[in-house]
Amino acid sequence: MKQTSIPAFFVVLFAAALPCLGQSSGCSPVGTWWGGADLIPDGYLAIITPRPVKGDPLGATHYTMTFHGAYSPESQGLFVLTLFSGPLDKKQTGEYEYEGTGVALANAENTFPGKVIIIAARFRFKFDGCDTLKDNIDFFGGYNMGDGKVPFKDTPDFEIAPTPITETYHRVTTDCPACPTP
């Protein structure tokens, strides 16, 4: 009887600790977020999900982030713009708790294959309370597709926007005091 109670204790302890793994702030970036640039408000929906990797099978410190802008690509001189996505890892860099890179593909011509570019950015996130993420973009470059350059390893062909760019994202909550009571 005693042998089964010890493993059961560890299972309960592990389950209780699971939400806190890899979180120095006590907050998890996993969730749906809305927000954008502080200086020029852009509307973005951000989704951050766990990304299991070797050594972190539960995705406690590795994530995938995907951003979708609420604007027309034509407003940016583009005909097609994919979702912006990439890895985000728990990595303390100064005041920031998380660091990631992301890319999107864009077509600057209304033809196929057109002029395809790779838009690349590096992000650093920190929490301001568990429901607000502060973001700093310190690299935002463009690469002409097919020129042999590798994003983040090679110097970009052009700058997308001057950096640094600061952004604020707010967690989408399931709490709804404004919703009708069933």
- Per-residue pLDDT of 146-177, as tens digits, reads 999 999 999 999 999 899 999 999 999 988 89
Flag whether pLDDT at 106 surpasses 70: yes
Residue 165 in any domain: the answer is yes
Confirm whether 103 is domain-assigned. Answer: yes
Of residues 59 and 120, more confidence is placed in: 120
Into how many domains does the chain fold?
A: 1
The CATH number linked to 73 is: 2.40.128
> Is residue 154 in a domain?
yes
Contact 107, 114 (CB under 8 A): yes
**DSSP secondary-structure letter at 20?**
G
Strands (E) located in 94-157 = 96-107, 116-127, 132-144
For the entire predicted model, the pTM comes to 0.79
- Checking if the pLDDT of 114 tops 80, the result is yes
pLDDT at 48 over 60: yes
Mean pLDDT of the chain: 84
Indicate whether 19 belongs to any domain: no
Q: Is residue 86 part of a domain?
A: yes
Whether 6 is covered by a domain: the verdict is no
More confident: 2 or 26: 26
**CA dist., res. 151 & res. 171, Å (int):** 29
Kindly state whether residue 166 falls inside one of the protein's structural domains.
yes
**Contact present, 22 and 90 (Cβ < 8 Å):** yes
pLDDT of amino acid 77:
83
Within a domain: 151 = yes
Q: Mean of the pLDDT values across residues 20-28?
A: 59
Given a cut of 80, whether residue 8 has pLDDT beyond it is no
Residue 89 in this model has a pLDDT that exceeds 90: yes
Segment 135-142 shows an average pLDDT of: 96
Q: How many CB atoms lie within 10 A of CB 38?
A: 13
What residue numbers bound the domain in which 156 lies?
A: 24-171
With b for 16 or more beta-carbon neighbours within 10 A and e for fewer, the 81-108 pattern comes to: beebebebebeeeeebbbbbbbbbebbb
